[in-house]
Structure 1
Amino acid sequence: MRAILNYLRASRTSPNLHRRVLYLAVHDITYPRNRRIRSYLSENYGIDSESTELEQHGGYLRRSVRMLIAGLRRSNNIGAVVLAEFNVQYWWIGYIIGRFRRVPVITDRFVGLYETNVEDWQRFSSRSIKARAHGLFDTLAVRFADYVLIDTEVRAMELRSQTSRARVFSLPVGAPDWAVPRPRARSASDPLKILYYGNYIPLHGLSTVMAAAETLARTGKTFALTMVGDGELRGEIESAFRRGTASEHVSFLDPVPEHQLSEIISEHDVVLGIFGDSRKAASVIANKVWQGLACGRTVITRNSHALGEIASLTEGQLVQIEASNSDELASALAMIEPVPDDGEASASHIRLREYVDSRYAMFAAALMQRLEGALDEP
C-alpha cells in the first residue's frame, strides 16, 4: 500500500486528450469480445489500447494490489480506462485509476458474476453470502462507471434501470472477419449435417440437444451431429450420448483454432445456438448464432426478445424454438431446408455487419465527444 501511495504522489498529471485506452483485467487478449472493441476503436478512430492481463496466481487481494500498481504505472496519457469482460469484481480498481487520471471509466458488463455462477452453473445458493457478494460486484461495476457496455439491447435496458449516472451502450457480439458465406455441395442422399461448437456450458442447454438427437434417431431421420469443443460438462454429455440410440450419428472433436471454424461450418447445414432456460439465455445472442448466420447457414436457437434485434435481417436463416424443448428442436431439424441461397446469405451477411457497425459507431461517437471535451477543460 505504501508503494501505491508513493507512486500516486509522484506521478499525478493533468487531464489531457490522448487516443489511448487502458484495458484492465484482460483474461485473454485474443478473446473475440475485447479484440473486436479494441480493433474497432483503433481502425476507425485511431484509439490504441494497452492491456493489463489478469494475474492467475494468488488470492483476490494479491491480484488486486498487483493490478492496481500495474494499471497506475501504465495509465499515463490515457483517454479512458476499460474494465474488461469477465472481471467486474475489480470495478473499484478501474474507478480509482479513472478518478486519479480524470478520465472516463468504461465497464464491459458482458459477463456478470451472479448470472454465471448462481443462475447458470448454480455453484452456490442464491441466498448465500457469495451469491450476494457477486450480485453486489455486478451492481457496483455499473453504478461507478461512466459508460457501460453490454451485448444486446434487452440487457442494455435492464442495466439502464440500475443507474442514472452511466451511459449504457449495446455492442453486439457480431461475427469475425472469417465468418463469410461459403457454398456447400449437398446431394439428396446426404444426411442432414448438424453442428454444435462451444465450451459445454449450462447456457447452451446440451441436454436438449441430446434429447432431440435421440428423437431423430428413433424416427429414422438421416443425420450427422458434430460436437466441437471441450469443457467441464463434455465428459458427462459424451458418455450420455454413447449410451443412447443416437450414438452412431454423433461425433466428438476437440477444440480447433478459431480461424478453422469457417471451414467446419461450411461443411454443415445447421448450426445449433443455445437452448438453456436461464435469465441470461433469454437475453443474449450467442457467438455461434452470429457466426452461423454470417456463414450463411441455418441457425436454430431458443427464442428470446434479444433476437428481435436481428431476426428481420436474416432472410429466414434464423429458426427459434421454445427454451429446453427437445421435441420442438427435433421437429425443426426434421423440417430443415437445404442451405439458403447464396445470394440471400450474402445479403443477410451484409445487413448483419452493417447493424453491428452502427451500434459500435454510436458508442465510439459518444466516447470521442467525451474525449474531445477534455481539450476544452482549463
Structure 2
Amino acid sequence: MKILYVAGREASYSRNRIIQRALAAQGHEVVACFPPDKAFKHYPALLWQVFLKARSCDLVLVGFYGQLLVPFVKLLTWKPMLFDMYITTYDTMVFDREKAKPGSFKARLYALSDWLSYQLADLSILDTNHAIQQFGNIVKTDLGKFRRLFLAVDDSAIHPKPQLEARDHFLVHFHGEYIPFHGVRHILQAAKLLENENIRFQIVGRGATYEEDMALARELGLDKVRFLDPVPYAKLADYMAEADVCLGIFGNNPRAELVLTNKVIEAIGMGKPLITRRNQPVQELLKDGDSVRLVEAANPQQIAEAILELKNKPDLRLAIASKGHQIFLNHNTVDKLGQGLQAILMEIVAQRGLRLSPTPAGKDRPL
C-alpha cells in the first residue's frame, strides 16, 4: 500500500521513526507529512501538504500528536484512516500535566478531542488494554474500534551489548525526564538507603523537577549517584549496557498508573533486569519475579530492597533479564510492530471492501 503518514511531531521523533521503519519493512510505500517541530503553528502548512499528497495514497495513518489533526485530515481526504493515538489528550493534560481537574469543563474538552478522533478513524491504536479501558471509562463509548499494539523501540540501537568497563561495584541505571510520574526523588531516597552498599547509580536526563530533585540529592549527601545530561539514543544504549540493573518509573500520580513507558521496553530490549512500579499496563507484558521485579509506587524502601536482592542473587538477576528479553523479542521489536500494523491495516482494507491488485513491487495495493 501507499500510506500517507501524518503526525503532529517532527520526523526525528522516535515514534515517527519507528513507525516508518516498521511500515517500510512490510513493503509499504510511506509518504511522510511531518512538521519541523511540535508547535501548533505549523498545522496549516502541514494540512496543506496532506491535501496535496493524499490523492495518490491508499490509506492515511495519523500519528502522535493527532487528536487535533484527525478531523481535518478526514475532511480533506475521506481516505480510510488508522489513528495511532499513542497517548490520550485527557490523560496527558489532566493526569500528567494537571492542566485541568477531572470533571471540569476543560477536562471534558480534552476528552471530546479524544472521542472525536476515535470516532472519525476506522481503527485506533493504544499500547495496552488498560489504556483502552481507561479511555472507555473517561469518554463512555464503545471500544470496538481499538486495537492493542505494544510499544516498540529502535532495536538497531537497543539490543544486548557486552559490558566494556571493568569495575568493582554494582551499577544501577535510570534515564528519562525529571517529572512526577517518573519519581526520580524515590530513586534518590533509595540510593540513600543503600549508601553503605557497594552500589552506584547513574541517572541520565533533565526535566521539570530537576532542580527540586537536585536539591534533594544535595540534602541527602549522595556521593554514589552520577547525574548526566540527556545523550543521543545510541549513547544512551551504551550507558545502559554498562549497568547491572535498570529502573523504570516509581511515581504515584494517576499518570503513573496508566503507562507502560519506553524505558521499560528499552531495559528488556537491552537484556537488563528491570525494577519498576507495579501497575496494570506493565503486568500485561511482564510478570513479577519472572521477567521483572515490581515494587509499590513511591516506595524507596522497596526499590532499595529490590536492588539489593538482584545484586545478591545473580542467578535471579540473569533469569529475569533473560525472560524479559525474550518477551521483548516476541512483542516489542520494530518487526513485531510492523506485523501488528500490517494486520490492523489489512483489517481496515477488509472492512472498507477495497479491491487489491499486485503492484510492481509484488505487494498487494488497494485500488
Q: Give the distance between the partners of 2:130 and 2:268, measured in 1 at CA.
A: 20
1:26 aligns with 2:4: no
1:325 corresponds to? 299
Q: Which moved more, 1:106-115 or 1:303-312?
A: 303-312
Residues 250, 298 of structure 2: 8 Å contact kept? yes
Cα deviation, residue 257, structure 1: 0.6
Q: Give the distance between the partners of 1:340 and 1:181, measured in 2 at CA.
A: 18
1:97 corresponds to? 76
Q: Give the distance between the partners of 1:283 and 1:360, measured in 2 at CA.
A: 24
Q: Give the distance between the partners of 2:263 and 2:297, measured in 1 at CA.
A: 17
Residues 8, 69 of structure 2: 8 Å contact kept? no
1:149 corresponds to? 125
The verdict on how the C-alpha distance between 1:133 and 1:63 changes in structure 2, with shifts beyond 3 A counting, is farther
Cα deviation, residue 156, structure 1: 3.0
Q: Give the distance between the partners of 1:311 and 1:280, measured in 2 at CA.
A: 19
The verdict on how the C-alpha distance between 1:124 and 1:163 changes in structure 2, with shifts beyond 3 A counting, is closer
Residues 265, 295 of structure 1: 8 Å contact kept? yes
**1:185-212: CA deviations, max 9, x gaps?**
798x833211111122222122221222
Amino acid at match of 1:95: K
Count, aligned residues:
349
Show structure 1 runs of 5+ residues with no match. 1-18
Aligned residue runs from structure 1 range 273-284, under 5 A: 273-284=248-259
| 1:335 alignment partner, one of 292, 306, 309 | 309
The verdict on how the C-alpha distance between 1:259 and 1:80 changes in structure 2, with shifts beyond 3 A counting, is same
Amino acid at match of 2:261: A
TM-score, structure 2 length as denominator? 0.84
The verdict on how the C-alpha distance between 1:254 and 1:168 changes in structure 2, with shifts beyond 3 A counting, is same
| 2:284 alignment partner, one of 290, 295, 309 | 309
Amino acid at match of 2:190: A
TM-score, structure 1 length as denominator? 0.81
**1:269-308: CA deviations, max 9, x gaps?**
1111011223332232211111111212111101122223
Identity over aligned residues, as a percent?
25
Q: Which moved more, 1:261-270 or 1:205-214?
A: 205-214
Amino acid at match of 2:132: A
Show structure 2 runs of 5+ residues with no match. 357-365
Larger radius of gyration between Structure 1 and Structure 2: 1
Amino acid at match of 1:156: I
The verdict on how the C-alpha distance between 1:232 and 1:238 changes in structure 2, with shifts beyond 3 A counting, is same
Residues 152, 170 of structure 1: 8 Å contact kept? yes
Q: Which moved more, 1:82-91 or 1:46-55?
A: 46-55
2:108 corresponds to? 132
Cα deviation, residue 228, structure 1: 0.6
SS in 2 for 1:26: coil
Superposition CA RMSD, Å: 3.0
| 2:212 alignment partner, one of 232, 236, 253 | 236
Q: Give the distance between the partners of 1:321 and 1:143, measured in 2 at CA.
A: 37
Residues 303, 323 of structure 1: 8 Å contact kept? yes
Residues 91, 137 of structure 1: 8 Å contact kept? no
Cα deviation, residue 89, structure 1: 2.6
SS in 2 for 1:182: coil
2:160 corresponds to? 181
